Amino acid sequence: MSIVLTCSNLNKKYGQSYALRNLDLQLEENVIYGLLGRNGAGKTTLLNVIAGGILPNDGTIEVRGKKLGRGELPKDFCYMREKNKSFGGARIIEVLQIAASFHPNWDWTFAHELLKSFQLDPQKKIRQLSRGMESLVGNLIGLASRAPLTLYDEPVLGLDVLMRERFYKALLEDYAHYPRTILLSTHLIDEIAPVAEKVYILEAGSLLLHDEIEQIHMKAHLIRGNSEAVASLTAGKRVLHTESYGRGTLAAIYDKLDDRDRQRAREMDISIENLTLQKLFSYLIGGGH
């Protein structure tokens, strides 16, 4: 396992409030990550601190084991911001030409395929584009640049369902042939579950959870039954949330359940459901509501 990027103890304050607090994050080579969090959780700030030149108050960033100096940006990376106000007067094709000059792995054949698939007219000016089309231009650049480290901030913002599906499909197909490290920040949590291999969940600038999607499928459960029975089954496990109803309790847990746990659950008439990533997220940050 080779580490591409390590952020250690990052802190970023705006006035008295922390946009990032003691944040640690590590990205491995050739993995797709989801960066999840509510509005204001700190996702954009984190991406800007890594790649957008915002200086943290504390903490270090290492790229392939080499610490970045203050204000230094990673090499060989592509960062597609949520908002890109520059280039308004330029045509799409001109923006692609600029991007191509920055990225040594740029693939023009792929870029033209994506223009067609995303239904973008290369002669259109950036300021004539809808919100979704603008996102698609950014997504195209992120894909065709094939940078070893690609960071996307809300890439599907403003996209309709068809275009979201086309983007995810293009990403996964291209990643299968050209593996690299990709981090996608998003609100659309269940959509990212089939795309990402690992996720980081932020809340109020801190890391709430990070794990492999596969592990999340194995560990995120909702348990329902008699209160004493639920308390006994969940003892020693990571309980995210509990709620009482009549004589029963509902508990969201984040832990593996082995055969013995499941046998006990059957004996005690406890039901066990798997939680979707979206539901896990809701229980982590707000008790499921």
Ligand X SMILES: Nc1ncnc2c1ncn2[C@@H]1O[C@H](COP(=O)(O)OP(=O)(O)OP(=O)(O)O)[C@@H](O)[C@H]1O
The residues of the shown chain that bind ligand X, judged by CB under 6 A, are: 14, 19, 37, 39-45
Q: What are phi and psi of 97, to 5 degrees?
A: -65, -40
Report the residue number, 40 or 158, with the smaller CB distance to ligand X: 40
State the minimum distance, in angstroms, from the CB of residue 46 to ligand X.
7
Rounded Cα distance between 114 and 173, Å, is: 12
State the minimum distance, in angstroms, from the CB of residue 241 to ligand X.
22
- Contact, 201 vs 208, CB < 8 A? yes
Report the residue number, 47 or 230, with the smaller CB distance to ligand X: 47
State the minimum distance, in angstroms, from the CB of residue 204 to ligand X.
8
- Contact, 223 vs 253, CB < 8 A? yes
Rounded Cα distance between 278 and 289, Å, is: 11
Farthest-apart Cα atoms in the chain, separation: 68
Angle at alpha carbon of residue 60, lines to 19 and 16, rounded to 5°: 25
Report the residue number, 145 or 185, with the smaller CB distance to ligand X: 185
State the minimum distance, in angstroms, from the CB of residue 30 to ligand X.
25
SS3 118: coil
- Contact, 184 vs 192, CB < 8 A? yes
Rounded Cα distance between 269 and 289, Å, is: 26
Report the residue number, 37 or 148, with the smaller CB distance to ligand X: 37
Report the residue number, 56 or 148, with the smaller CB distance to ligand X: 56
State the minimum distance, in angstroms, from the CB of residue 35 to ligand X.
9
Report the residue number, 83 or 266, with the smaller CB distance to ligand X: 83
Report the residue number, 42 or 56, with the smaller CB distance to ligand X: 42
State the minimum distance, in angstroms, from the CB of residue 56 to ligand X.
12
Angle at alpha carbon of residue 26, lines to 23 and 32, rounded to 5°: 120
Q: Residue 84: what residue type?
A: N
State the minimum distance, in angstroms, from the CB of residue 102 to ligand X.
24
CB neighbourhood size of 239 (10 A): 17
Give whole-number Cα distances, 64 to 6, 146, 147, 149, in Å: 8, 18, 14, 11
State the minimum distance, in angstroms, from the CB of residue 234 to ligand X.
31
Report the residue number, 170 or 209, with the smaller CB distance to ligand X: 209
Residue among 98, 168, 146 at smallest CA distance from 126 = 98
Rounded Cα distance between 77 and 147, Å, is: 5
